[in-house]
Amino acid sequence: MKVLVTGSTGLVGSALCAGLVARGFHVVGTARSRPSVRIPGVDYRVVGELGSTTNWQDAVAGAKVVVHCAARVHIIHETLSDPLAAFRVVNVLGTEHLALQASAAGVQRLVYVSSIKVNGEETRDRPFTEQDRPQPSDAYAISKWEAERALHGIASRTGLEIVVVRPPLVYGPGVKGNFLSLMRLVHRGVPLPLGRCHNRRSLLGLGNFVDFLATCIDHPASSGETFVLSDGKDFSTPELIRHLAVAMGRPARLLPIPPALVQLATSVLGKPGIYQRLCGSLQVDPSHARRLLGWIPPQTTDAGLTATAQAFLKQP
């Protein structure tokens, strides 16, 4: 089967391409520019910037399934005056344009990598599920939710099968962003004022995510479904730091500062979002994926975190 993977040079896209090649799929990977690192067995296509005019015809020709990983991602230090407009160009119009061209080319299914941020930023009484009313709050999450709705509209008109997956934080070898920043702090032995955080956060290992996306490609029961996903084991931030520290052979320097003081300090610094990401809870219930598809994560969270930390230590 021929599968098109968009965003094939990103963390998830590149791992997915490698995983699908190993499973015997004919993989076409797209990127904005010529990739500097190529995965053996992947047929690459350069499509330029994503938007309402991107030409997907060559990439989608002969493909049965598209896994859409490419996106304008969440940006912490946003500088644009109207970020929602920029997110909509790529994540909404670009996704809609891809789906229409894919359907016209005979593609049967599109698996869309959305975000748990469509559900909301924080959980309190219970984990997020697929049945929750979406509550996207920032421009990125709003664009992802609008893209989901656009895809379902196309599905109703064309018969294109849509599968939506909303992952939480994805970690794994080569991870960037906040997770990489946290590993650097732990490795340097920086004291962190998080010892009294009692939050719970769901994580998703890269290998588990790849396995689930591969399952969605040809599982008949996944068509038309939305899935929230995780490894199934949730951590507090102090627990996560301790695990990473052990894997790196470093001490976990956690200061027992009351969370209220941490929240006050981040507010004074004008960065209240940091407190939410470090001390807030965000849990998901992945039982729908397990019941409907019979999916079981192939890697434990403990093993995945250890592999991530060890890959970090090997970086130059």
Q: Annotated active-site positions, please? A: 140
Beta-ladder partners of 162: 110
Q: DSSP 3-state assignment of 28?
A: strand
The DSSP-derived string for 36-87 is: SS--TTEEEEE--S-STT---HHHHTT-SEEEE---PPP-TT---S-HHHHH
d(CA 146, CA 97): 13
Encoded tokens for 85: 């407009």
d(CA 316, CA 311): 10
* Widest Cα–Cα separation across the chain: 58
Task: To the nearest 10°, report the CA torsion of 16, 11, 185, 285.
Answer: -50
Helix or strand holding residue 27 (H, E):
strand 26-31
Nearest to 20 by CA among 37, 50, 43, 36: 43
Residue 189 gets the label, from left (phi > 0), alpha (psi -120 to 50) or beta, of left
d(CA 197, CA 170): 21
Class of residue 174 by CB neighbours under 10 A (exposed 0-12, middle 13-18, buried 19+): middle
